[in-house]
Structure 1
Amino acid sequence: MRTVALPDTDTAAAWRDAARELLAERIPPDGVLWQYGAAESDLFATAPTPSTGGRTRVSRAFVDLAEAVCWHAEPERFARLYALLWRLADERSVMTDRGDAAVAKLREMEKSVYRDMHKMKAFLRFREIDATGSRRRFAAWFEPQHHIAEPSAAFFARRFGDMDWIIATPDRTVHFKDGEIALAPGQPRPPLLKDATEQLWTTYFRNIFNPARLKVKAMQSEMPRRYWKNMPEAAAIPDLIAGAEARAREMQRAAPTLAPARAAKITEQLSMTPTDTPAPGSLSALHQEAANCTRCPLHRNATQVVVGEGPRDAPLMVVGEQPGDQEDLAGRPFVGPAGQLFDRLAEEAGLDRDKAFVTNAVKHFKFQPRGKRRIHQKPDAGEVQACRWWLEAERRLIKPKLILAMGATAAMSLTGTGAGIMKRRGTFERTEDDTPVLLTLHPSYLLRVPNAAAKAAAERDFRADLTLAADWIARNAA
């Protein structure tokens, strides 16, 4: 039995190193005992023997999954990850199997970690502890469900880089001083004194509280009660709930007449206009930010945001329209029928999907409920424009040599117009920053063609475009 003792800082990297070594030695999952919270120098409690095996390649999806799950609080998280890694050597498609219980459990854990990180960003409250120096000093206390203080530290350093601060949690304490992050052991809740900011938070909360839209259960779901004791504005919640009905009636009496339909449409479009906030500097940070996207109304009904996936240095970026029903549930692009057709035709054309970055112009699923089914709806121009910020952020990070735009929506987002896609397919155009764009059909179109002869012709055209993309990459990506 091999015992692996992981440190309680930089845990994800330590797990990757240990798992790589164990896999190279062909140590099975039931032959490893994982421990957490050891000193950094004691990674292997039982010394490893020199490895003789080769490396196992895994997808970016697994790497990102492991990075998140390592911060989960469940003691068995490392064993679960290694068991899945062991299977990936022989079952490369298991990550896309929606019915696999092990993958489903790890995805649930990943989602729980990201949700906890989001709650920390939303509900952590700083209090000023010293305003006499050149940099003001603040402190905060937070009680997360998982070990997220370390992976969340970079976010707070970016957001509050102009001040020194301490974030204390029972598990880990994060110090930020003069632009540098330092980690220390956790501690009990410190005696933080009230400051002027608490009154500001309460005033702000009272002003944004809308009694006409009060739903207590929904509010407690988004803002669980266990966070209230550390949020100064939470003291006002009982009073606001008690007076909500009277205030809502007062608002109704003072409400103006309804605006004309066109004015309402303009207001909605303005609310969908992307802001000029800077994009995160890594794909994982970008994906975490995208999980909270509210740039257009599509986030309200979709299960989750579906961002792109693939190598960071991919020479080819493949852009589709939007997630479908299966992608919306799985949280990954092109895993449904259209994606499976794309994979088959791409393989026939000599195009390796694993070497491309695959994404969509719109990141949330737009649909119309019909009984138990969700019927796809094409995103409109405003929704495409609102989501273009995320696509451009992905482009800036990937820096592809060539973009394959599949369908009219992708063409609109990348070139400014989606008109005449049937005549334009098979041709190269350019983005605003002069990146070449090869236009082609969307694989979902091929699935909808009713006539067998027309379907075969459309598949030939699509396969030819994929071959053209593969040949272009082979000639120009070196």
Structure 2
Amino acid sequence: MRARLAHETDLAGFRREARRLLAAGVAPQAVAWSVGEGAGDLLDEHASCGDVHGEPTATRPLTVPAAFLTLCEAVVLHREPQRFALLYRLLWRLSNEPGLRHDPLDPDMLKAQHMARAVHRDMHKMRAFVRFRPVAREHGLPPLHVAWFEPQHRIAEANGPWFSRRFANMHWALLTPDACVEWDGQALQVRGGARREDAPPPDAGEALWLTYYRSIFNPARLNLPMMRKEMPRRYWHNLPEAQAIGELASAAAQRTGRMIEQPASSGSRRIPLWEAPELPASGSLDELNRRVQQCRECPIGARATQGVCGKGPQGAAVMVVGEQPGEQEDLQGRPFVGPAGQLFDRALQRLGIGRETVFVSNAVRHFKFELRGKRRLHKTPSQQEALACRHWLEDEIAQVRPGALVALGATAARSLLGRPVAVLEERGRWLEREDGLRVLVTVHPSYLLRLPQGEQAEAFERFVRELGQAWGGASELHAGRDREAAC
């Protein structure tokens, strides 16, 4: 039995014929599929052209997985001559072999999936490698951007909607040997295939693109095998930049050698530090707080609600330094009042230490954030921004005169010690500053909040132990100072 389709990608015709054949109980090997009027047999050289019927099946509604319909949409675009025979064979087997849909190693299904992947890959390459050239038009019409492409499969019409969304405001025509797709800003039109000669010749814009391509080429990152994998040679003759690949690749080794021989360039400051206003030296913590509100030594201060200085008693046994204020701290003007601060308070309660006996501060005085809709999301301050705030922290330490310091996190540790600190490697250790003050490094409470739920309890217990170690060390230091004073 012959099943005839209107054209090479006639999915609707295939579905109609397949339903008719299934209802008649015609087995796959008895069907000869053809395309177009008077076309010969495309699929099975041995199929009979007469009315050959298999055993009739009971009339029942046929249901197939939704994934099979999606598979058919891709496979009909493939150039494989036996694609319709393969799809009908799968449909017949899905109707008669229910277990097929659960068999991941079936040869027919694997072949169809391989064909679908090839079609999808070809569609992706078309989107990546199409190059439009503008053609002027008369009667005040906008220019028509025309591109020539030679796909491996019959994908031009199926890819048209993607191009209409991507270049919605541009009038364009996509020419291929199988079909041409045109977009006038309102609707897609599909017509017959074209020849390469129908595409416009190179223009001045193409020469400009080649100049840009040569300028951004980095010889040190050249990887020809990977480039050929991602941009196969069969596409090169349609790409303007392909003519430059050979000369750039051949000169890559020389250019890389010259780059290596060049002396190192000096880095430039990425975030310019603003000149601080002339202010009198701070004589108290209140005066220091007033000066911080006027600070514009880095851009953070201009966006934050207010500057947030430390809170606590002068002469505290321990001064705890975090990274920067969070959103709640920025709004309330007090350090460690958000979720991380609440976890810190819990740790102090476990140790029997009152928050009022601790001086708590931050390395950076203003809240750095990134807007996401109406939300202000925390953003880690850069080294330049932390450095701009460091003198405020040193002024505060001089005013408070703590017995010891605790650095919560990497930003605080770097600001207190003047060097990078690997927090997870050095946590729980006493380190010493140039002025002799001892610093115990541990994690920031926000680190604990980001851990998986199952790991938080154990991590919190370790955090509590390290804070207890800080207070124990500070007490020993105070006792030593008292003995020295008595002597």
TM-score, normalised on structure 1? 0.49
Instruction: Using CA pairs under 8 Å that are at least 6 residues apart, name the structure with larger relative contact order, 1 or 2.
Output: 1
TM-score, normalised on structure 2? 0.48
